[in-house]
Each structure stands twice: as C-alpha cells, then as structure tokens.
Structure 1
Amino acid sequence: MHDTRTRIALLPLDERPVNTQLPADVAAIAGFELVLPPTDALPRFREAGNPDRLADWLTAEVQKPNTAAAIVSIDTLVHGGLIPARISTETTASAISKLDRLRAIKDSNPNVALSAVSLITRASDSYSNVEEPEYWDQFGRELHHLGALTHRSWADSGVTPDPPELPETVRADFAARRLRNHLINLAALGLRWEGVIDYLAITADDTAPHSSGSAEQNWIRYWQLLRPSSGVAAYPGADETGAVLVARTIAAQRGISPTVRVVAADPTGLSLVPPYENEPLTTSIRRQIAASGAQPATDHADIVLVIHTPDPQRGDMFSHTTPATDRSAVAGTVTAVREALSAGSAVTIADVRYANGSDPALITALAAASLLEHLTAYSGWNTAGNALGSALAQAVAAAVADQTGTLNQAATHRALIRRLLDDHAYQSVLRARLAPTLFNSTIRPVAAAQARHAEPAIARLLQNELDTLGLPTPLVVERVGLPWNRSFEVEISLADGATHP
C-alpha cells in the first residue's frame, strides 16, 4: 500500500519561479501540496536569505503529520541561495558546520524522506559580474580558461598548462571558493553515506567538457564508483533540480517508477554535448530519467520523451544572432510527436535545439498541426539539462498520478501553458525584441520602477502570443513579474478567463 501523505516541503535554490513555481506546478499535477519558506527568509538576487530561519522553518515543517518529504538546496541552507553561494566570503569551516542542521532535521522525524541537491559552482565564460564575484568583469574569461587548462593538465600529466596572467589575489580567491564548494559537496556526500540524506544530486551548473566544475565532478564520480548504488547522482543541471526531486518524491511516495521511451528524429544529435554542459546529451538523458524516479524503456512506455536535438551550430536564443532554422529537423520532430500521439502515448517534448529558449519554428509547426494541446508536457528553457529535467518532472508526475487516479488535468494543462509562454513566447519571441525599449539592452537589473513599468506591457504581449498559438485553453495571462528586475527571467501568473475579466 502506497504512502498517502501528500505534503512536500521545499527549501529552494532561490526565489525565482523556476525554483518555486515550477516545482509547485509539478506537485499539483499529482495532487500534492508543495510548501515553501516565508518569502522574507529567502534570498533576493545577490542578497542572501537567512539560513538559520530557513533551517528552523524546515525543522518545523518535517514534524507536521502530512509531510511526506523534504527537499533541500544545500546552497540555500549553507549560503542563503544560488548567487550568495558564488559570492559569499564565509569560511569553509563555518559553511560546512551548517550542514549539521540536516542531522537535527532528520532526527526530528526519521519517517520523512530527505532529498538534497548541491551544485558544483559554475565558472562563467564571460566578463559579466552580475551573478559572480565583483572581479569577474575583468578576469572572468581568464578564470574560466584557467579552469579548462588545469583540468586538461590534471587529466593528462604530460601537458603543462600555460595559464593566463592573473593577479595572485584573484587566482587565490577563485581557488579558495572552488575548494570550499568542493568540500561542501563532499560533506553532503558524507551525509548521504551516513543515511541523513536519503537521495543526493550533485549537479554541475553551467559548465564545459574541460572546466573547473567538470574536474570537480569527476572526483564526485570517483566516490560514486567507489560506493555504487549509494543514492547519489551527478550530472549537468541546476535550476530544474527542485522540480526533478519533487517528481522523484511523488514516484517514491506512490511506489511507482514510470517507464520512459526516448525518441529523436535525429538520433545522431543525442551524441552532441549541448552548450554549457560537459557530457553527451544521451548520457544526461539517462541520468535525468533516473533522478526523476523513472526508468528507461525501449518498447511500450508510460512516457514518450521526444527530444528536439541540439543545433550542431550551438545556437543560443539569448545571443545577438538569431540561430538559423533547420526545417528538416523541425519536420522530423513534428512527425515523431504525431506518430507517438497517434499510438496513444503520453508525449512530452524536451526542446533542446537552442540554449536559452525554444525553437520557434518547432512551436509554430506543432501549433499549425494542432498537436500542442495534446502534449503532456513541454520544456525548452536555458540549458539542455534545465529543459530535459523540467519536461521529465512534469511527465513523471503525470504518469504516476494517472496510474493512481489522482491526475489533476487542470494543473497539467496549466503547467504546459506556463512553459509554452515562458520558454517560447517570452524567451524566444519577446525577450530580444523588448530588450532595447524596456531593459536598456542589458542583462543587468534595471531600476525597480522601470521593471514595474515593463511588467504589464510584457503581460499584454504574452497574451497576444498565447492567442496566436490558437490553443484551446481557458487560461489567460493575469500578471507578469520580473523577480530580479531584469529581462532574463519572468514570473507568469495565469487565471481562468471565464472568471477573470
């Protein structure tokens, strides 16, 4: 008999919608309730949240009778959020000591499943310090290059690196931050081995095949090999992990592991390493399926995951150049979707053609063929790992709920519409168009008043894009928020058009 508890407490990576709203959407699909910390205890962009208050909140939540599980972002528990984890000056000893709170949380209710995610800090290949230490605007690309050179040298002892010129203070600080992050990840691994954490994902945030993060991830995989089947996952990803762990929790609570069949019109595209990642897509797919609580299948499956494979030219919807459209790739994916739907399958699309947004031609073609409304889920935002994990999370929740008679069709539809609006209508259609007029053509946050002025304009345009897709939906765009007062991400609130003027 499956567990009937339906409450999940989430300590998210930060306050952005992908870390709060998306996991809540996944939970709602299966009739679960996701509870989040008080807003004023969470981080606000570069301003850290309050780790003590957050730990106290989580301790109280796990003791409530209907709480089935707790999901914890180690970066938030220790540093107060994603960006604070990158820029904090806290000592390693002080940071690691905060992990002891997990022992107390687990001891307070051992019957609550405790999952956690800890990130391998990125080293952005850019000169933007918007989300990094202040010196990144002068030395960011050199530091990324240093990580790649060091990784290559370490992997091949016959290679002597010729490092870029850097001030010793900058290099020392960079190294110290990476060491602190690595030791926190190892400490979290130790808690998993102790049984404090029931499942641990250690994911690489925005990386590359040769980089500091990839070298450190190799060490994590060493420990995985030393103690296999230890409930530890390591793969590229970050902001999707809250949703993935919610799906995994739902599957575990219901005692169901859905099967997933992967379909790609261009199977050779599965061997590509997507932008901002460090392993072939096919490897990431296998690891994300396992992380979501599902299992692969080659024949009949609960979920057909259609992959719109990466652009060999590595197109990016947040770049200054719009990627070229590959009509044959679009046609192949549309055919794969149509065939799977015709066979009666529950179809989910991971649109990883381009980084940072959908393939607009794919969405247009699916809408013209009246296929969009028949999808179980869709995702196509930021990195391939983000899109893949989000698509799987929605699909797994739906598959589990379908088998237990708890599927919330309205919540499933709402999640699909939200992703189409965010990943396609905003990220790939509107964002670049609006950047000069509403955001001064910068990735940096604008003044709060300017952001509030932009929000209703974006909401109106998103509604226009939703109307253009021609989907049969009762939902309308109620409101749009800009959580970090910048163009990169939006929060989309939906309402029932029948009751909302």
Structure 2
Amino acid sequence: MNRKIALIPIDARPVTRELPKQIARIGGWEVLLPDKEKLGFLKKPGNINSLSDWLLKVAPEVDGFVLSTDMLAYGGLVPSRINSDELQVIFKRIELILHLKKIYPEKPIMAFSATMRISNNYVNEEEKEYWEDYGEEIWQYSYHTHRYVRTECEESKGKVEKLSAVIPPDILRDYLQTRERNFQVNLSLLDLVENGTIDVLVFPQDDTSEYGLNIEEQESLTDFVRKRQLSSKVFIYPGADEVANTLISRLIYKLEKVAPPTFFPVYSGETGSHVHAMYEDRPICESVKGQVFAFGSYTVDNANDADIVFAVNVPGKQQGDLALQKFLGEVDTSHRNIGEWVSRVHHYVRKQKLVAIADVAYANGADPAMLPRLLDGVPLSHLCGFGAWNTAGNTIGTVVAQAAMIYLQKEKPSIPFEEVQGNIEEQIVLRLLDDYLYQTIVRQEVRKAVNLETITNETLLQEVAFRFNEEAKVFLEKYSLDYEIKNIYLPWNRTFEIGIRLAKEGAN
C-alpha cells in the first residue's frame, strides 16, 4: 500500500480541507489535497477542470478516493446552491468518476453530495442574491408545502397560497428549478452506486428542520435507496462539513482490513440526549448512531462491550447557538449534571478505556460551563478525541473519526506511539483553541467591538488576531500546553470561522 488517499473537499476552509488530512495522519495515512486556489472562495466556484486534471494526476499513487461531488459538479458546496449550469453539463462533469473507476477498478471510491439546504433568514452570503429580499418567505414556502403534503394541514395550505402571491414567480421558479436539478444529480449518483462505480455514498442533510422541500427530497432518496437495496452503501443523515472525516476514516479501515471499533455513548443528561439539535431533524442520540453507522460501526449498551466510550455533552432543555446567541439560557439547566458526567469520564479513563468527547450542548462552539471542569478533571493526554464545532453532526462525525484513528493504531500500529500521541494531542489542542477559545469567547468579543458592515478585511483580521493571541497565551499557559500560535487567518474574511497554524514550542 502507498498509505495515501486523494480527497476532493467541498471547499478550502480548514475544517473541510485540512482537518481530514490531520485526522488521517493520526492513523499513519496521508491525504493528498488540491491547492487551495483550485477550490474557489465562498460563492466563487473552484476550477473544476483543474481539479479533474489534478485528480487524474495523483490517482496512480493513492490507494483510494474520497470525492465531494458538489465540488466536482458545481465547484463547491456554496456554488451548488447558486449554480445555473444545465443538467447535462453537470452530468458530463460527473463522468470523471466513471472514468476514474474504469482506470483503477481496484481502488475504492467514496463520495458525498449534500441535499441542498434552505436557510431561514435574509442573509444571502451563501445563497442566491434574492435571498436578502425573500429568504424567510422561501423557507416558509418550503416548510409549509411539505407540511401540507405530509399532514394535509389546512393552515399550511393557506400559507403556501399566500406566500406564492408574495414571492415573485420568476424567483420562485428559479429556486424550485435549482432544487430539482440538484435532486436529479443526486438520483444519478445512485446509479453509480448500483453499477459499482461508487463504493460508499453519503447524502448529508445540510441544515434541516422537521419539514421542508429538502426533507421531502431526503424521503424520496431514502425510498429509492430501499427499493434498489442500497442501504448498506448509501447513508442519509444530518451533516455536511464533517463528511470527509467520516469517509476518510471509513476508507482507511477498509484498506487496512481492520474491523471498526464499537462505541458506547455516555450523555451528560438523559433529557438532552433526546433533544433535537439545531439545524437537524432528529434527536442527538440518533445523530450519534447515524454518524457511527456512516463510519461503518454501531453503538453498544455498556462500556464493557465497547472499544470506545463516546462521552457526549448535551444541553439541558434545548441546544443553544453561540454564533447567533440564541437559547443560551436553555442549555445549563437541572436537566443535566456536568459534574457527574465528568466524573464518569474520569472513571473510564482510569479503567484505561479509550474516551472521546463530543460537546454538542451548543451549536457553533464549546460549552463554557463544561469545558473548564473537563480540563481540570481529565488530562488531555488521556483523551482520544474532542470536538465542539458548528452543528452537532459536524462535531460528532469529527470525534468518531478521531477516536477511530487512535483505535486503529492500537490494533494495527503503523507509526511510533509517540507520534500517534503527538498527532491526537495537537488535534485536540487545535479544536480547543478553535471551538472553545475562538468560537465561544473571542468571536463574541470581536463582534461587539467592531462594526462588521464597515470594517475592512485587514482591520478585521488584526482585531481577531490580537484578541485571539492574548486569550490563547493565557489558555495555553494555564493548562501547560506546550504549543505556540504561528498564524491566524480568516478563511472567508468573516468572523464565523478561523484558521489557526499551530506548532510545538521550540519547533522550526
């Protein structure tokens, strides 16, 4: 084996491009990536022809492929929502996957294609331009159209009729045509699974709710998967940005020919484990099962049967959102017990179980009531994973992949133990700095201090870097973490996400 995998990510952000590479490195594998410049920038699509050439160029030296069809077909996840190319043009681009399998039939191909999200606001940063005028109305139209189909609710029927009169016909027609085209592309991918071109396919549900045209599409895709008996190869669940991590880890296990580990979930609150996370259509406990199953494994009912204890910090009554500052008072309630949960984590660590932490009490950041208690009670060196970023699915899928790579090295070591330990420690420190220090603390400080409507990109970066470096210095010193910040950057020139270059103190 070459111990290399080629990845076409959904875009060039650190969590989608660099994180899969970092996770694979824990397991002693290398992920080959196209240059960032080829992957576009927010609404600007990636260079599809250049990416195709790159993929064919590196194909001889890799053992398998993980491919974002959104990037190959549209130039990225965001461009997939605004692209206006003809369906036949899109189908022609996807033929690259057929060509790849024809040349390298022995090399597995795992692919993912998001079901197009519906944003419930007037922000058009990642949507078509008309979203700033009709975004919420289109979301309501989608929600009530599907709700009426499912429930025959007369209230929803009336709302659809009113909304149809409010949204200009050309805009509604354009939106529905865009959805239909994306749906047809996803249907065509099922053909590639059925004929053996794609070995595993994921349809991640990007930002979902109980009803919506996206949910209706997912139900249709599920029906097609069942009828064509593809349920062991096609997976549909909430997520998007973390799917490359899931498929990279799954592919590595396939290539290594190692049975995947089992997971025992431990929740900080029983009520919270059944809460529907924001931007998802199911309880958190079901999202955990979905992510573990997509990786290729399953959960078990007790720690003795488990290879990995999967400790999930959940909200008390409702998940909050740290980026939007919503429902913050519903998280740290008497419906959960963080102290008891941390004690259980410590217990399993003492029993020498592999323990990973998925913090989903909030969307878009770590839980400030939990994190200090965890760090005071459990040494980082005793954990095999940590995450708390963006949606619950993003976090859960990432932590499953991290823990799986540690387990792989335990079962079939391919690199020195010190290197494994160093790789996962750096991973966890990066997630703490990003998910906790930046997303939970610094981002809110920056947003309160500056006018985001008028500030320049350069000044915004300076403000973020200054505040972050000050906080990071204190944090790293407090917990005796021997790392230094080499560089801070804003991947999309906005405060939502950050890029961090980290190095061990004293390293070149």
TM normalised by structure 2 equals: 0.92
* 1:12 maps onto 2:9 in alignment: yes
Q: What SS is found at the alignment partner of 2:113?
A: strand
> Superposed, which structure 2 residues align to 1:3-42 within 5 Å?
4-42=1-39
* 1:307 maps onto 2:309 in alignment: no
User: 1:329 Cα deviation (Å)?
Assistant: 3.2
**1:168 corresponds to:** 169
Which has the larger displacement, 22-31 or 156-165? 156-165
* 1:132 maps onto 2:127 in alignment: yes
2:323 aligns with one of 300, 306, 318 = 318
The superposition leaves residues 134-180 of structure 1 with CA deviations (integer Å, 9 ceiling, x where unpaired) of 01111111111111111112223465352122111111111011111
The letter for the 2-side match of 1:390 is T
2:237 aligns with one of 235, 238, 254 = 235
User: 1:473 Cα deviation (Å)?
Assistant: 2.8
State whether residues 319 and 327 of structure 2, in contact with CA within 8 Å, keep that contact through their aligned partners in structure 1.
Answer: no
The letter for the 2-side match of 1:497 is E
Residues 176 and 491 of structure 1: is their aligned pair in 2 closer, same or farther, counting only changes over 3 Å? same
* 1:50 maps onto 2:47 in alignment: yes
**2:481 corresponds to:** 473
The superposition leaves residues 420-454 of structure 1 with CA deviations (integer Å, 9 ceiling, x where unpaired) of 1111110001100112335x246x9x633224423
**1:453 corresponds to:** 462
Any unmatched runs of 5+ in structure 2? none
User: 1:312 Cα deviation (Å)?
Assistant: 2.0
The CA distance in 2 between the partners of 1:272 and 1:120, in whole Å, is 23
**1:368 corresponds to:** 376
**2:441 corresponds to:** 429
The CA distance in 1 between the partners of 2:293 and 2:63, in whole Å, is 20
User: 1:456 Cα deviation (Å)?
Assistant: 3.3
The superposition leaves residues 250-271 of structure 1 with CA deviations (integer Å, 9 ceiling, x where unpaired) of 2111222111111113233222
User: 1:458 Cα deviation (Å)?
Assistant: 4.4
The CA distance in 2 between the partners of 1:255 and 1:339, in whole Å, is 32
The letter for the 2-side match of 1:424 is Y
Which has the larger displacement, 89-98 or 197-206? 89-98
* 1:395 maps onto 2:403 in alignment: yes
The letter for the 1-side match of 2:429 is I
Residues 455 and 269 of structure 1: is their aligned pair in 2 closer, same or farther, counting only changes over 3 Å? closer
The letter for the 2-side match of 1:413 is E
User: 1:5 Cα deviation (Å)?
Assistant: 3.3
**2:111 corresponds to:** 116
State whether residues 269 and 315 of structure 2, in contact with CA within 8 Å, keep that contact through their aligned partners in structure 1.
Answer: no
User: 1:118 Cα deviation (Å)?
Assistant: 0.2
State whether residues 63 and 108 of structure 1, in contact with CA within 8 Å, keep that contact through their aligned partners in structure 2.
Answer: no
**1:149 corresponds to:** 144
1:273 aligns with one of 276, 286, 289 = 276
The CA distance in 2 between the partners of 1:107 and 1:314, in whole Å, is 46
User: 1:107 Cα deviation (Å)?
Assistant: 1.2
User: 1:411 Cα deviation (Å)?
Assistant: 0.7
Q: What SS is found at the alignment partner of 2:7?
A: strand
Residues 404 and 210 of structure 1: is their aligned pair in 2 closer, same or farther, counting only changes over 3 Å? same
The letter for the 2-side match of 1:162 is K
State whether residues 69 and 113 of structure 1, in contact with CA within 8 Å, keep that contact through their aligned partners in structure 2.
Answer: yes
The CA distance in 2 between the partners of 1:44 and 1:61, in whole Å, is 23
The letter for the 2-side match of 1:258 is P
State whether residues 421 and 462 of structure 1, in contact with CA within 8 Å, keep that contact through their aligned partners in structure 2.
Answer: no
State whether residues 350 and 391 of structure 1, in contact with CA within 8 Å, keep that contact through their aligned partners in structure 2.
Answer: yes
The superposition leaves residues 72-100 of structure 1 with CA deviations (integer Å, 9 ceiling, x where unpaired) of 00100001011111111112222222111
State whether residues 9 and 34 of structure 1, in contact with CA within 8 Å, keep that contact through their aligned partners in structure 2.
Answer: yes
The letter for the 2-side match of 1:453 is Q
**Number of positions where the alignment pairs a residue of Structure 1 with one of Structure 2:** 491
State whether residues 272 and 314 of structure 2, in contact with CA within 8 Å, keep that contact through their aligned partners in structure 1.
Answer: yes
**1:84 corresponds to:** 79
Q: What SS is found at the alignment partner of 2:362?
A: coil
**2:430 corresponds to:** 418
User: 1:378 Cα deviation (Å)?
Assistant: 0.7
State whether residues 266 and 332 of structure 1, in contact with CA within 8 Å, keep that contact through their aligned partners in structure 2.
Answer: no
The CA distance in 1 between the partners of 2:218 and 2:290, in whole Å, is 14
**2:223 corresponds to:** 222
Residues 107 and 228 of structure 1: is their aligned pair in 2 closer, same or farther, counting only changes over 3 Å? closer
User: 1:350 Cα deviation (Å)?
Assistant: 0.9
Higher RCO (CA-CA < 8 Å; seq separation 6+): 1
The CA distance in 2 between the partners of 1:146 and 1:30, in whole Å, is 46
The superposition leaves residues 345-404 of structure 1 with CA deviations (integer Å, 9 ceiling, x where unpaired) of 111111110111110111111122244442111111111111111111111111112211
The letter for the 2-side match of 1:5 is N
User: 1:290 Cα deviation (Å)?
Assistant: 1.5
The CA distance in 2 between the partners of 1:314 and 1:394, in whole Å, is 24
User: 1:104 Cα deviation (Å)?
Assistant: 0.5
The letter for the 1-side match of 2:251 is T
2:493 aligns with one of 482, 485, 489 = 485
* 1:293 maps onto 2:296 in alignment: yes
State whether residues 366 and 372 of structure 1, in contact with CA within 8 Å, keep that contact through their aligned partners in structure 2.
Answer: no
The CA distance in 2 between the partners of 1:465 and 1:21, in whole Å, is 26
The CA distance in 1 between the partners of 2:387 and 2:280, in whole Å, is 17
Which has the larger displacement, 6-15 or 337-346? 337-346
State whether residues 264 and 336 of structure 1, in contact with CA within 8 Å, keep that contact through their aligned partners in structure 2.
Answer: no
The superposition leaves residues 16-39 of structure 1 with CA deviations (integer Å, 9 ceiling, x where unpaired) of 001011101111100101110122
The letter for the 2-side match of 1:237 is G
> Superposed, which structure 2 residues align to 1:331-370 within 5 Å?
331-370=339-378
Q: What SS is found at the alignment partner of 2:500?
A: strand
The CA distance in 1 between the partners of 2:170 and 2:337, in whole Å, is 48
Q: What SS is found at the alignment partner of 1:295?
A: coil
Which has the larger displacement, 477-486 or 313-322? 313-322
Residues 47 and 362 of structure 1: is their aligned pair in 2 closer, same or farther, counting only changes over 3 Å? same
Residues 68 and 484 of structure 1: is their aligned pair in 2 closer, same or farther, counting only changes over 3 Å? same
State whether residues 380 and 425 of structure 2, in contact with CA within 8 Å, keep that contact through their aligned partners in structure 1.
Answer: no
The CA distance in 2 between the partners of 1:237 and 1:378, in whole Å, is 17
The CA distance in 1 between the partners of 2:439 and 2:252, in whole Å, is 29
The CA distance in 2 between the partners of 1:194 and 1:22, in whole Å, is 31
The CA distance in 2 between the partners of 1:461 and 1:221, in whole Å, is 49
Residues 137 and 332 of structure 1: is their aligned pair in 2 closer, same or farther, counting only changes over 3 Å? farther
Q: What SS is found at the alignment partner of 1:120?
A: coil
**1:463 corresponds to:** 472
The CA distance in 1 between the partners of 2:60 and 2:99, in whole Å, is 12
Which has the larger displacement, 186-195 or 294-303? 294-303
**2:58 corresponds to:** 61
State whether residues 119 and 202 of structure 1, in contact with CA within 8 Å, keep that contact through their aligned partners in structure 2.
Answer: yes
Q: Percent identity?
A: 30
User: 1:43 Cα deviation (Å)?
Assistant: 1.1
